[in-house]
A and B are shown apart, each in its own frame.
Chain A
Amino acid sequence: MTTAHPIAPPNFPAPRGACPFAPPPAYEQARREQPVSRVTLWDGSQCWLVTRHADVRSVLRDQRFSADARHPGFPFVTDGRRALANESTSFIRLDDPEHARLRRMLTADFMIKKTEALRPRIQRIVDDFLDRMVAHGAPADLVSEFALPIPSLVICLLLGVDYGDHGYFQERSRVLLHNHSTADEVRQAREELTEYLGRLAEAKRREPDDGIISRLVARGELTDEEVAATCLLLLVAGHETTANMTSLSTLALLRDPAQLARLRAEPALIKPAVEEMLRFLSIVHSGLPRVATEDVQVGGETIRAGEGVLCMISVANRDEEVFEGADRLDIGRESRRHVAFGFGVHQCLGQPLARVELQIAVETLFRRLPKLRLAIPYEDIRFRTEMAIYGVHELPVTW
């Protein structure tokens, strides 16, 4: 029997529901009723939506699914994202063995021992920005005075980028990550950032320091363009994500006094608390894109070669089969199986750093400002529904 589908699959993305921390209710329903389903993208093309924890893990670990956006059928959630992928060659959009070759030039820089050794330095940076925010006086915007500058300065130090230029690259990163940016805007922002980093690579060749850019250049295996593309990935991936996790975690804790009291009473809970907030908030909310290179069975459906897939890590992280009472924030629970950093060989390279930054920033903030609270009504907070990385645009606080 052949059934024509008169109705096109629902548009992606579906709107969020009443709880701003939860993924769209339509996708929660899909996970329960039709875990591998079809959606229609902005340009009228269709792709698969994978929502269950087990299926998301199996797709992301399966070599038959490619992260290379040059494959026909690769799903782009916006026009800007397509423009970016068509020109960029950083390893987040390459498959092994090319991906592994490039990623392995950086894995030593982000290994656990290295990032743990950064704790005292990061603690000082966190304390400094908090001192400044307090000196400016309440109310303050926690996003621009605390959450964003911390990871921004840290990634600059690691790369060997002048933090004085943060306005320049933050503005352009914003364009890259805004769902409403046009293809031209994205192309221009990317070009300017690549040029900026290319010039920097050239300068480091003449006058090396102990940063990542200098070391990449010194290996002599990459062109300045490849160095620039790699550093662009680190610069963009390295600050917006951690920044939004910091401010959204703060808001989630302020909205849940019982959990906050628990964290204050038991500071050692900060590590599981950060894992739980990564799970609960899942700020990479538009799905990790892949394309099938062969026919593959996933959750009872056949995904054909050349068909696109969006792995909804935010929805997988609320899967009741893995996380009991998944819609509850519970900072003491075992949440290490979350997929907030992705899964498979592309799993976040910067996760050890992100964890250390988040643990220190959240712990320090609530310890030093015990009366921290919102300075505007909760209803007035603007959430970043239209950005690739979810969070809040600003978070006015007082203390």
Chain B
Amino acid sequence: MRVSVDTHRCCGSGQCVLAVPDVFDQREEDGIVRLLEQRPPAELHAEVRTAATVCPSGAIEVHEA
């Protein structure tokens, strides 16, 4: 699995950080998403998918493979 985020789309809701704090963070200066892990380990995959589903702005893309 490979994850990418679009910081222009992100509205800083923090949903992804609540779901998987090991993969997503927010920038200190403006609360916009910061990706910590482009290739999260298998045990986090389910939660990363949840993060992409609950992200309100469609800023998280999950490439399976």
Binding site for B on A (CB under 8 A): 60-61, 100, 103-104, 107-113, 336-337, 341-349, 351-352
Which partner residue on chain B sits nearest A348 by CB separation?
A: B13
Contact A113 B11 (CB under 8 A): no
How near does chain A come to B31, taking the closest CB pair, in angstroms?
3
Contact B56 A61 (CB under 8 A): yes
> Within the complex, which residue of B26, B30, B50, B54 is in contact with A113, where a contact is CB–CB below 8 Å?
B26
Residue pairs across A and B with Cβ atoms less than 8 A apart, 20 shown, are A100-B11, A104-B30, A107-B11, A107-B12, A107-B26, A107-B30, A111-B12, A111-B14, A111-B26, A112-B17, A336-B54, A337-B53, A337-B54, A344-B57, A345-B57, A348-B13, A349-B12, A351-B13, A352-B14, A352-B18
The B2-61 residues at the A interface (CB cut-off 8 A) are 11-15, 17-19, 21, 26-32, 50, 53-54, 56-58
Chain B residues with Cβ under 8 A from A113's Cβ? 17, 26
How near does chain B come to A102, taking the closest CB pair, in angstroms?
12
Contact B30 A347 (CB under 8 A): no
Question: Bound complex: CA of A347 vs CA of B56, how far in Å?
Answer: 7
Chain B residues with Cβ under 8 A from A341's Cβ? 13
Chain A residues with Cβ under 8 A from B11's Cβ? 100, 103, 107, 345-347
Contact B31 A110 (CB under 8 A): yes
Chain B residues with Cβ under 8 A from A112's Cβ? 14, 17-18, 21, 26
How near does chain B come to A308, taking the closest CB pair, in angstroms?
21
How near does chain A come to B52, taking the closest CB pair, in angstroms?
12
Contact B50 A336 (CB under 8 A): yes
How near does chain B come to A339, taking the closest CB pair, in angstroms?
9
Contact A104 B54 (CB under 8 A): no
Chain B residues with Cβ under 8 A from A342's Cβ? 56
Of listed B17, B26, B28, B53, residue having the most chain A CB within 10 A: B26
Question: Bound complex: CA of A112 vs CA of B20, how far in Å?
Answer: 12
Contact B56 A345 (CB under 8 A): yes
Question: Bound complex: CA of A370 vs CA of B57, how far in Å?
Answer: 41
Chain A residues with Cβ under 8 A from B28's Cβ? 108
Question: Bound complex: CA of A387 vs CA of B9, how far in Å?
Answer: 33
Contact A108 B14 (CB under 8 A): no
Of listed B30, B50, B53, residue having the most chain A CB within 10 A: B30
Question: Bound complex: CA of A67 vs CA of B27, how far in Å?
Answer: 27
Chain A residues with Cβ under 8 A from B21's Cβ? 112
Which partner residue on chain B sits nearest A104 by CB separation?
A: B30
Contact B57 A61 (CB under 8 A): yes
Chain B residues with Cβ under 8 A from A344's Cβ? 56-57
In the complex with contacts A112-B26, A336-B19, A107-B31 CB distance below 8 A: yes
Question: Bound complex: CA of A348 vs CA of B54, how far in Å?
Answer: 13
Chain A residues with Cβ under 8 A from B53's Cβ? 337
Which partner residue on chain B sits nearest A275 by CB separation?
A: B18
Report the 4 A-B pairs with minimum CB-CB distance, sorted nearest first: A107-B12, A107-B31, A347-B56, A111-B31
Question: Bound complex: CA of A111 vs CA of B15, how far in Å?
Answer: 10
Of listed A60, A61, A336, residue having the most chain B CB within 10 A: A336
How near does chain A come to B62, taking the closest CB pair, in angstroms?
16
Which partner residue on chain A sits nearest B31 by CB separation?
A: A107
Question: Bound complex: CA of A110 vs CA of B27, how far in Å?
Answer: 12
Question: Bound complex: CA of A100 vs CA of B10, how far in Å?
Answer: 9
Which partner residue on chain A sits nearest B16 by CB separation?
A: A112
Question: Bound complex: CA of A118 vs CA of B32, how far in Å?
Answer: 20
How near does chain B come to A43, taking the closest CB pair, in angstroms?
31
Chain A residues with Cβ under 8 A from B32's Cβ? 104, 107
Chain A residues with Cβ under 8 A from B17's Cβ? 111-113
Question: Bound complex: CA of A351 vs CA of B56, how far in Å?
Answer: 12
Contact B14 A351 (CB under 8 A): yes
Chain A residues with Cβ under 8 A from B29's Cβ? 108
